[in-house]
Homo-oligomer: A and B are copies of this chain.
Amino acid sequence: MATPIQAEASNITAPTQFVATGVETYAYRRFGRGSGGAPPLLCLQHFTGTLDFWDPAVTDPIARGREVILFENAGVGRSSGEVPDTMAGMAAHVLAFIAALGLTHVDVLGFSLGGVLAQVIALERPSLVRKMLLVGTAPEGGEDIMHLEKPELKRILDDPQLQGFQRLVKLFFTASESSQAAGQAYAQRLAARRQDRESVSGPKVAGAQLAAFRAWERGDGGERFTKLREIRQPCLVVNGVLDQMISVRNSYALAEHLPRAMLLTYPDAGHGSLFQYHDSFVRQASLFLGETPR
């Protein structure tokens, strides 16, 4: 299974590519070095995030050991179509994209919303997914998931002084000096890509994705977390202990109910723990992906 290797293995410079399925055209970036038959790492993005919101401090070092594919779901950035208002709908686009690229195996890095989609895909098409990194995310029927109306989040979202990446620095990092400094470094890294950028998501994207989150939190009416038992892939669950967007309790539930999940939490960190502790996260991700499955 020969995979093309991009010359520029960085999310600062990798060109945005497009693949058409006949129904939709998806934007994506693909870079890094395939090694020894390891499947590519498919990265599924957070609420309203585009390809431009993947931190090069995370994607680029990982891409030195394996191929990295960043996916833009339908209706986001330059991908065509409408944003589905269900997780199943968004997961169907991920599957269509994987098929369009002709991939038969992937590892998945699902962050937040992307971590939900990773779970849906692993349940629906288990043979496709080898291992999963589930970061800042939640199981179906979880608690305290993306309640943007909470005072601590609303205050940030309503602040007219906070534009662009600065809003993310407040949302994804804690109030401590060191976390905010890490947030500013993250914002600078995201701004380093100067050309070929995606359009920023508007209220339509946010509304549909939030509707999907609300249904996910409500659950399917069955006993909570039982479906997680069916996900047999090795998983690494990661979160910051002070995540205000998706409480760390959801990561505990994932680690307690997924049969093969390790959990890693970071101190003084929020939703963006993988960006704050990018060195540690990359090391842990590389260890996890490189290990022989137990």
A282: interface (CB < 8 Å): no
Q: Is A85 an interface residue (CB 8 A)?
A: no
Is chain A's binding surface mostly helix, strand, loop or mixed?
A: mixed
- Quick one: copies of this chain in the complex? 2
Known: A241-B256, A255-B241, A283-B287. A264 touches B267 (CB 8 A): no
State whether A259 touches B267 (Cβ < 8 A): yes
Interface readout for A6-50 with B: 1 if CB under 8 Å, 0 if not?
A: 000000000000000000000000000000000000000000000
A265 touches B267 (CB 8 A): no
Given the known interface contacts A283-B287, A287-B283, the answer about A261 and B255 at a Cβ–Cβ threshold of 8 Å is: no
- Nearest B residue to A263 via CB reads B265
Given contacts A262-B264, A264-B264, 14 further A-B contacts (CB under 8 A): A241-B256, A248-B256, A252-B252, A255-B265, A255-B267, A258-B267, A259-B267, A259-B268, A260-B268, A262-B265, A262-B267, A262-B280, A263-B265, A283-B287
Which residues from B are CB-within-8-Å of A267? Answer: 255, 258-262
List the 8 closest pairs (A to B, CB-CB), nearest first: A263-B265, A241-B256, A255-B265, A261-B267, A260-B267, A241-B255, A264-B264, A259-B267
Minimum CB distance partner of A262 in chain B: B266
Cα–Cα distance between A283 and B288 once the two chains are bound (Å) = 11
CB neighbours of A255 from chain B (8 A): 241, 265, 267
